[in-house]
Amino acid sequence: QKEVEQNSGPLSVPEGAIASLNCTYSDRGSQSFFWYRQYSGKSPELIMSIYSNGDKEDGRFTAQLNKASQYVSLLIRDSQPSDSATYLCAVSGGSYIPTFGRGTSLIVHP
Amino acid sequence: SAVISQKPSRDICQRGTSLTIQCQVDSQVTMMFWYRQQPGQSLTLIATANQGSEATYESGFVIDKFPISRPNLTFSTLTVSNMSPEDSSIYLCSAGTSWDEQFFGPGTRLTVL
């Protein structure tokens, strides 16, 4: 069974700091990796996707993928209170439907 | 990206009744899925809605309890049948043009009394 593991948190960081969210996965055949942001009471929103080893940057967000170690991370630079949400990691491989982790709750305090 | 709407946004239902949730996408998509999310939990995939054929259900979910229709590439329904309080949850529709990216509807919050 494919597993995607995340620390449930909450991860608390001060405003302006870097928030680091981590995710590990069990299936070595995984090829696609996604980060979703979910505000309380709202539906998940895709914020980043990454397919190759290394870093992918989009504004204040950087996704990092290491397939050899089977982990993917999301860095949020200059964290803002509006970044406070649950971040879901999702992993898929080939024709597999993405498997979601349980999410990490992030709190950015002023 | 696709814009997805769901109806109803919320409902309170009596035990033993059924509720049909509608999911509408603003463009043709290959894949449509139905998820359930319990409070504070992650997403649990119920089934893949296949256009023109029977849905593909995940382990623990059966057609008699969660019948799904998908008559075309932009629309799907999920029915929660013979409801019990354990069915209280948020039900989410998602859609995408590939396996790799999914966009979610706003969800339907269901409470069963």
**DSSP H stretches of helix in A1-110:** none
- The distance in angstroms from the start CA to the end CA of chain A is 41
Contact B100 A92 (CB under 8 A): yes
- DSSP-derived 3-state class of residue A43: coil
* C-alpha–C-alpha distance, residues A50 and B10, integer Å: 34
Tell me the nearest-neighbour CA distance from A42 into chain B, angstroms. Answer: 7
Express each pLDDT in A63-79 by its tens digit.
Answer: 999 999 999 999 999 99
Please provide residue B48's backbone torsions phi and psi, each rounded to the nearest 5 degrees: -95, 125
Q: What is the pLDDT of residue B99?
A: 67
| Residue B30 binned pLDDT confidence (cut-offs 50, 70, 90) | confident
Instruction: Determine contact: B112 vs chain A, CB below 8 A.
Output: no
Which chain B residues contact residue A102 at CB under 8 A? 41-42
Q: How far is CA B112 from CA B15, B41, B82, B83, in A?
A: 6, 18, 10, 7
| Contact of B55 with B49, CB cutoff 8 Å | yes
Ramachandran quadrant class, B40 (left: phi over 0; alpha: psi -120 to 50; beta: rest): left
Express each pLDDT in A39-64 by its tens digit.
Answer: 998 999 999 999 999 999 999 999 99
Q: What is the pLDDT of residue B90?
A: 96
Q: What is the pLDDT of residue B98?
A: 76
| Contact of B28 with B13, CB cutoff 8 Å | no
Express each pLDDT in B39-97 by its tens digit.
Answer: 878 899 999 998 888 999 999 999 999 999 999 999 999 999 999 999 999 999 999 88
Q: What is the pLDDT of residue B18?
A: 98
Tell me the nearest-neighbour CA distance from B43 into chain A, angstroms. Answer: 6
Residues 32-91 of A with CB under 8 A from B: 32, 34, 42-46, 49, 88
* C-alpha–C-alpha distance, residues B106 and B110, integer Å: 13
Instruction: Determine contact: A9 vs chain B, CB below 8 A.
Output: no
Q: What is the pLDDT of residue A37?
A: 96
Nearest CB to A43; choose among B33, B42, B106: B106
